């Protein structure tokens, strides 16, 4: 009702809008036909805030991540994080500022973020989402130095290491040089086995090998090694005299 007599009984508030609703209540006292001074007070009903749904996400470590929350106009957001190994603090207010995703133990990390919207003293239903961080692989070559060979020498096998399960893709450029010096192919996966070097052109030949580590959908930084094959020396004894 918009008016009444005597006390205002308890009632359940409602606000189906996205903004606060204010109502001014004017009270006038009556006694034996006499009216006293009126008094006015205000009841403000804030909307119960909501937050827009947030999808789970899977990302690679070493990249930056941030998130801007949205929902009821004027809402603020408080959040908690149950796994700080991903690089995010245990709690915070407002949007999630940019931070670098981490996997400090070289394994996948999963964190559940719970976000609670509020307007004034009114809190809405929390929204939970998961951030899964997969490790970005690295690669180490052994030996790590460039190789300089003489034609006919066997190369030193190149062994790659990194996180368990990492794939090592290598590509040689120029590709024609790779097969010219004796590599079985200009690209491959895994370690590079020893091979017998060749040089049919009579001058030094170099091929650069780029090795790129990948683990699932995460690709790490590449490294590059050079293999050079010099022509074999020979002596021209000339004609007999």
Read off the pLDDT of residues 97-137 as tens digits, 9 standing for 90 and up. 999 999 999 999 999 999 999 988 889 999 999 999 999 99
- pLDDT score, position 34: 87
Read off the pLDDT of residues 195-204 as tens digits, 9 standing for 90 and up. 999 999 989 9
- pLDDT score, position 241: 61
User: How far apart are alpha carbons 49 and 72 in whole angstroms?
Assistant: 5
Residue 178 host element (H or E): helix 175-180
Mean pLDDT of 49-70: 97
Asked whether the whole model's pTM tops 0.85, one would answer: no
Q: Is 117 left (phi over 0), alpha (psi -120 to 50) or beta?
A: beta
């Amino acid at each position: 009702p918009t008016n009444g007599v005597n006390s205002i009984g308890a009632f359940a508030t409602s606000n189906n809008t996205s903004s606060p609703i204010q109502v001014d209540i004017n009270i006038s006292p009556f006694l034996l036909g006499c009216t006293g001074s009126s008094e006015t007070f205000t009841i403000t009903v804030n909307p119960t805030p909501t937050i827009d749904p947030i999808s789970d996400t899977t990302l690679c470590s070493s990249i930056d991540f941030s998130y801007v929350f949205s929902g009821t106009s004027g809402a603020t957001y408080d959040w908690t994080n149950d796994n700080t190994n991903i690089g995010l603090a245990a709690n915070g207010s407002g949007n999630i500022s940019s931070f670098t995703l981490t996997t400090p133990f070289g394994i996948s990390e999963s964190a559940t973020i719970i976000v609670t919207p509020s307007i004034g003293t009114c809190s809405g239903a929390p929204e939970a989402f998961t951030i899964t961080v997969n490790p970005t692989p690295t690669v180490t070559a052994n030996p790590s130095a460039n190789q300089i060979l003489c034609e006919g020498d066997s190369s030193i096998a190149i062994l790659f290491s990194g996180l368990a399960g990492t794939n090592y893709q290598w590509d040689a450029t120029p590709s024609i040089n790779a097969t010219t010096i004796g590599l079985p192919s200009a690209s491959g996966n895994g370690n590079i086995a020893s091979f017998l070097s060749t040089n049919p052109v009579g001058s030094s030949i170099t091929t650069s090998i780029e090795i790129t580590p990948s683990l699932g959908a995460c690709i790490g930084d590449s490294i590059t090694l050079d293999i050079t094959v010099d022509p074999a020396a020979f002596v021209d004894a000339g004609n007999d005299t």
